[in-house]
């Protein structure tokens, strides 16, 4: 019994998807991405596909699970479940208009023509806001549409906004923020669910390790109470006496996003010799 996972063959998600599987300890024998590869040490078969096709193939059971952008999942609107947000390939889907135009709010779009490769997401958005627009579906290079007279505005993926700017456009509304997600088909068998649970368990361990750092520091014993309060650790920090009387070594785990703030507080409390180490894997 194997679980079949669909990942993008060639594109922004490909390397990161393979990297994630590698960090989960899954060794993929054939990386030339012809169509399929089989993991050597985990019951997983990897299918390399265009991201647009992944929702359909997962729905139909060609693949059991898949990794793709949430934007494609919502656009294709297939009967599949989003199981886990993977935190990479983040992007925004925005409405953009000619940069010299005044923007009074969503009412601007009433009766306007908007070019996009994401008609489903856009249509849902304007229906929700009860605004009538004309959606012009185009495959790529959406940002040139207003200049060549195809549309008034566009709806597309925006990362830095520089492509918009060079085409004389400005973003005015963010309709969706997207990232890579793990999806699964309905009705997996019990055996497949078990393999999937194992995979998600590993993905979580990889994520936790990326979001956390191991910290070691030396502190005077009379400050330990305060230091321990700001360093909760997994259960509680580890304390070890130093050879110098009156001092201890404190070991703990801190979150990446609170990192600098905490270091500052620790230094103010008299912590010294602070070491921060990467965590390889973290099982909670
Ligand atoms: P395919 O050939 O597989 O259909 P594609 O050209 O549709 O590939 P990519 O450009 O590789 O797709 O993007 C894949 C996904 O990466 C997007 O659907 C989106 O979720 C995400 N992404 C993140 N940042 C960006 C960006 N700046 N531009 C485009 N996509 C981005
Ligand atoms: Mg695509």
Sheet holding 36-38, edge to edge: 36-38, 44-49, 3-8, 65-69, 180-185, 80-85
* Assigned token pair, 169: 């456009």
Q: What pLDDT score does 82 carry? A: 98
Residues paired with 278 in a beta bridge: 213
Cβ–Cβ under 8 Å, residues 63 and 4: yes
Of 17, 51, 67, 163, best ligand 1 pocket probe by most atoms within 8 Å of the beta carbon? 51
Cα(15) to ligand 1 centroid in Å equals 12
Q: Which atom of ligand 1 is nearest to the CA of 8?
A: 3
Q: Which atom of ligand 1 is nearest to the CA of 178?
A: 20
Indicate the CATH number for domain 212-278.
Answer: 3.30.70.120
What count of other Cβ atoms lies within 10 Å of the Cβ of residue 281?
A: 14
State the pTM of this model: 0.88
Nearest CA to ligand 1 atom 12: 11
Q: What is the pLDDT of residues 136-178, one digit of tens each?
A: 999 989 999 999 999 999 999 997 888 999 999 999 999 999 9
Average pLDDT, the chain: 94
Q: What is the pLDDT of residues 33-42, one digit of tens each?
A: 678 899 999 9
Cα(54) to ligand 2 centroid in Å equals 9
Of 13, 48, 171, best ligand 1 pocket probe by most atoms within 8 Å of the beta carbon? 13
Cα(274) to ligand 2 centroid in Å equals 46
Q: What pLDDT score does 34 carry? A: 78
Indicate the CATH number for domain 3-89+179-188.
Answer: 3.40.190.10
CA dihedral 74, 76, 82, 86 (to 10 degrees): -70
Cα(122) to ligand 2 centroid in Å equals 17
Cα(92) to ligand 1 centroid in Å equals 11
Q: What pLDDT score does 219 carry? A: 96
Which residue would you say has higher pLDDT here, 258 or 121? 121
Q: Which atom of ligand 1 is nearest to the CA of 160?
A: 27
Nearest CA to ligand 1 atom 25: 91
Q: What pLDDT score does 190 carry? A: 97
Q: Which CATH number fits domain 91-178: 3.40.190.10, 3.10.129.10, 3.30.830.10, 3.20.190.10?
A: 3.40.190.10
In angstroms, rounded to a whole number, what is the distance separating the alpha carbons of residues 169 and 264?
42
Q: What is the pLDDT of residues 10-47, one digit of tens each?
A: 999 999 999 999 999 998 876 566 788 999 999 999 99
Cα(51) to ligand 2 centroid in Å equals 5
Go through the chain and tell me how many residues it has. Answer: 284
Q: Which protein residues touch ligand 1 with a CB less than 6 Å away? A: 8, 11-13, 50-52, 69, 71-72, 89, 91, 157, 159, 178
If you average pLDDT over residues 71-87, what whole number do you get? 97
In angstroms, rounded to a whole number, what is the distance separating the alpha carbons of residues 21 and 15?
10
Domain boundaries, the chain: 3-89+179-188, 91-178, 212-278
């Amino acid at each position: 019994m194997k679980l079949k996972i669909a990942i993008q063959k060639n594109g922004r998600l490909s390397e990161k998807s393979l990297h994630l599987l590698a960090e989960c300890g899954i060794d993929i024998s054939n990386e030339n991405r012809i169509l399929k590869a089989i993991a050597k040490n985990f019951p997983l078969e990897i299918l390399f596909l265009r991201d647009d096709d992944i929702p359909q193939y997962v729905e139909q059971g060609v693949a059991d699970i898949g990794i793709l952008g949430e934007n494609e999942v919502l656009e294709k609107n297939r009967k599949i479940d989003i199981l886990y947000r993977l935190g990479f390939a983040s992007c925004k889907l925005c409405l953009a208009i000619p940069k010299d135009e005044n923007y009074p709010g969503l009412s601007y779009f009433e009766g306007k023509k908007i070019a996009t490769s994401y008609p489903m997401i856009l249509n849902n958005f304007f229906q929700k806001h009860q605004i009538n627009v004309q959606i012009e579906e185009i495959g790529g290079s959406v940002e040139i549409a207003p200049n060549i007279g195809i549309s008034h505005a566009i709806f597309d993926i925006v990362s830095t906004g520089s492509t918009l700017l060079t085409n004389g456009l400005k973003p005015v509304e963010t309709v969706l923020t997207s990232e890579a997600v793990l999806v699964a088909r309905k009705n997996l068998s019990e055996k497949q669910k078990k393999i999937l649970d194992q995979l998600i368990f590993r993905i979580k361990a990889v994520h936790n390790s990326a979001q956390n750092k191991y910290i070691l520091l030396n502190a005077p014993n009379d400050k330990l109470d305060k230091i321990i309060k700001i360093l909760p650790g997994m259960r509680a920090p580890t304390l070890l006496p130093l050879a110098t009387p009156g001092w201890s070594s404190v070991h703990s785990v801190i979150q990446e996003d609170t990192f600098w703030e905490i270091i500052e507080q620790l230094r103010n409390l008299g912590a010294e010799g602070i070491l921060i180490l990467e965590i390889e894997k973290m099982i909670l």
